[in-house]
Chains A and B, each alone.
Chain A
Amino acid sequence: MTTDTADSAAAAAIAPAADPSFLQRHGQAIEYVLIPGAALAGALVVFGIFVALFGKNPLDLYFYMYYGAFGTWFSWQNTLARAAPLILTALCTALPAQLGMVIIGGEGALLIGALAATSAALALPWAPPLAVQFAMVIAGIIGGGLWIMLAGALRQYRGVNETISSLLLVYIALAILNHLVEGPMRDPGSLNKPSTREIGAANMIGTIPGTDVHWGLVFGLVAAAAAYILIYHTTFGFAARVAGGNIRAARIVGLSVGKLIMTICFLAGGAAGLAGMIEVAAVQGRTNANLAAGYGFTGILVAFLARQNPLAVIPVAILLGGISASGGLLQRRLGLPDASVLVLQGIIFVFVLASDALYGRIGFLKGKG
Chain B
Amino acid sequence: MADGGIGLWTVPLAVFGGAIRVSTPFLFVSLGECITERSGRINLGLEGTLVMGAMSAYGISYLSGSPWLGVLAAGITGALLGALHAGICSLPRVNDVAVGIALMLFGTGLAFYLGKPLIEPTAARLPAIDFGWWSDIAQVRAALRINVLFLIGVALAPLLYWAFKTTRWGLLIRTAGESADAARAMGHSVLLIRLRATMVGGFLAGIGGSFLSLFYPGSWNEGLSSGQGITAVALVIFARWDPMLCLWASLAFGGAAALGPALQSVGMTSGYHLFNAAPYILTLAIMIITCSPKRTLTGAPAELSITR
Contact = CB atoms under 8 A, between A and B. Distances in A.
B109 to A, nearest CB: 3
Nearest to A343: B109
A164 B287 contact: yes
A346 B109 contact: yes
A interface majority secondary structure: helix
Given A172-B280, A353-B94, A161 B230 contact: no
B292 interface: yes
Given A343-B113, A353-B98, 14 more contacts: A158-B287, A161-B287, A161-B306, A164-B233, A168-B231, A175-B277, A304-B98, A342-B105, A343-B110, A349-B102, A353-B95, A356-B94, A357-B93, A359-B93
B293 A157 contact: yes
B291 interface: yes
B50 interface: no
B274 A168 contact: no
Contact of B106 (A161, A169, A300, A350): A350
18 contacts: A158-B292, A159-B292, A168-B283, A172-B284, A175-B274, A175-B277, A175-B280, A176-B274, A301-B105, A337-B112, A337-B113, A342-B112, A345-B109, A346-B110, A353-B98, A353-B99, A356-B95, A357-B94
A197 B227 CA distance: 29
Interface of B: 44, 84, 88, 91-95, 97-99, 101-103, 105-110, 112-113, 116, 226-227, 230-231, 233-234, 237, 270-274, 276-277, 280-281, 283-284, 287-288, 291-294, 306-307
Contact of B88 (A160, A183, A346, A354): A354
A163 interface: yes
Contacts of B293: 156-159
A159 B113 contact: no
Contacts of A357: 91-94
Contacts of A73: none
B93 A356 contact: yes
Q: 10 tightest CB-CB pairs across the interface, nearest first?
A: A346-B106, A342-B109, A175-B277, A339-B112, A349-B102, A357-B91, A159-B293, A339-B113, A178-B273, A179-B273
A13 B226 CA distance: 52
A63 interface: no
B107 A165 contact: no
A339 B109 contact: yes
A297 B112 CA distance: 16
Contacts of A342: 105, 108-110, 112-113
B101 A300 contact: yes
A167 B274 CA distance: 17
A174 B277 CA distance: 9
Given A157-B293, A168-B234, A176-B274, A102 B280 contact: no
A138 interface: no
Contacts of B113: 337, 339-340, 342-343
A108 to B, nearest CB: 10
B288 A160 contact: yes
B116 A159 contact: no
A159 B238 CA distance: 12
B101 A104 contact: yes
Given A158-B291, A172-B281, A346 B233 contact: no
A74 interface: no
Interface string A310-349: 0000000000000000000000000001011111111101
A342 B51 CA distance: 14
Given A102-B98, A356-B95, A345 B105 contact: yes
B286 to A, nearest CB: 10
B230 A167 contact: yes
Given A164-B230, A183-B270, A346-B105, A175 B276 contact: yes
Contacts of A174: 226, 277
A154 interface: yes
Contacts of B99: 350, 353
Of B226, B237, B273, B283, most buried by chain A (CB within 10 Å of CB) is B273
A287 to B, nearest CB: 14
Nearest to B109: A342
